[in-house]
Amino acid sequence: MSAKKPVLEFRKVDKSFGHIDALNDISIKVVEGEVLCLLGDNGAGKSTLIKTLSGVYQPTRGEILMDGQPALFSSPREAQERGIATVHQFGGTYPLMSIGRNFFMGSEPTRGWGPFKYFDRKTANRVAVAEVQKMGITRITDGDRLVGGLSGGERQSLAIARAVYFGARVLILDEPTAALGVKQAAHVLRIVNEAKRRGLAVIFITHQVMHAMAVGDHFAVLIRGAIAADFRKGQKTREQIADLMAGGESIASLEASIEGYRDTHDGLPPPPAH
Ligand SMILES: Nc1ncnc2c1ncn2[C@@H]1O[C@H](COP(=O)(O)OP(=O)(O)OP(=O)(O)O)[C@@H](O)[C@H]1O
C-alpha cells in the first residue's frame, strides 16, 4: 500500500443507465505523485468511470471523496474548479488558433482596462512557450504558431502542460497515446512522468499494455463494469496483464486455436463468434 495521500477516492460506486450497469461496486484510490492505469477492453466502463470522476455523470450509488471529504461534482466545471483536468485523445486543442491562444483559452491574460481591455498576446505566448518547454518540449519556441501544425504528441503535451499550469491536481488522460507513433508516444509518456514528478495524481487510460507498464504505479483492470484486478507495479507480467484485459482468456491459447483452424481451412481465419 502507498503511504501517499489519496486525492480522490471512489467507495463502492455504481453507475447505471436504465437497466445497464456500466459500473459495479467500484472502489479505487487516486494518489498524489502516482499514475493509476485504467485498463480494459471496449465497453468495459473506462469512459463511464472517468466521466463519473470528472462530473459529467453522478454515481447511482456509492461515494466519491476528495481529500478525504465527501465530494459531489454536479458538473464538469465544478470538477475542474476542484482541480480535476481531463485531456482527451487529440488534446482538446483548437487547430486554427495559436499556441498562446490555446494555452489560455477561457482564462486569457488581458491588458488595459474596461472597454479598452485586450488580449495580451505577448504574455500569453511567453508563458505558454515557457511552460511547454518546462515539460521538456524544447522544439516549441514560437507561441504564434498554429496548433494545427503541431504533431499529435506535441498537442497532447501542450494540453497536459496547460492543465499543470492551471493547477490541476488530478490529471485524467484518455488514451493519450492511442493515435501516436512510437516516438511521439514515448514523448507523451515522458510528460506523464513529469506530471507525476510534480505531484499530480494521474489516471492514464489505455489499451496498450506496454505504455501502461512504462508509467504506471498502480493498475486497475475493468471487465464489464467491475474491477477484475487491482495491483501495483511489478506484481504482474505483461502477458498476465494482456490476458486480464482479454477477460481472463489466455492470449496464447487463443492464438494457438486460430492457427490450428487456419491449418485445416486453407489458411482462412475462423468466422467471428456470435
Ligand atoms: N449514456 C449511456 N447510456 C446507456 N449506456 C451507456 C451509456 N454510456 C455507456 N453505456 C454503456 O456502458 C458500458 C460501458 O461503456 P463505456 O463507454 O464506459 O466503456 P469503455 O470501456 O470506455 O469502452 P471504449 O474503450 O470502447 O471507449 C457499455 O455497455 C455502454 O454501452
Instruction: Write out residues in the chain with pLDDT < 50, as ranges.
Output: none
ipTM rounded to 2 decimals: 0.94
Which residue's CA is minimally distant from atom 29 of ligand 1? 43
What pLDDT is recorded for position 138? Answer: 81
Cell numbers placing 152:
499529435
What pLDDT is recorded for position 203? Answer: 95
What residues does 232 pair with on adjacent strands?
Answer: 218
Rounded to the nearest whole angstrom, what is the distance from the C-alpha of residue 43 to the centroid of ligand 1? 5
What pLDDT is recorded for position 105? Answer: 78
CB atoms under 10 Å from CB of 199, counted, come to: 12
CB atoms under 10 Å from CB of 153, counted, come to: 24
The pTM of this model reads 0.82
What pLDDT is recorded for position 130? Answer: 92
What pLDDT is recorded for position 91? Answer: 62
Note whether 90 and 179 are within 8 A (CB).
yes
Which residue's CA is minimally distant from atom 1 of ligand 1? 17
Rounded to the nearest whole angstrom, what is the distance from the C-alpha of residue 146 to the centroid of ligand 1? 34
CATH superfamily of 6-236: P-loop containing nucleotide triphosphate hydrolases (3.40.50.300)
CA–CA dist 231, 199 (Å, integer):
21
Instruction: Tell whether ligand 1 has an atom less than 6 A from the beta carbon of residue 74.
Output: no
The residue among 77, 76, 67, 81 whose CA lies nearest residue 8 is 67
Rounded to the nearest whole angstrom, what is the distance from the C-alpha of residue 182 to the centroid of ligand 1? 28
What are the domain boundaries of the chain?
A: 6-236, 237-274
What pLDDT is recorded for position 116? Answer: 61
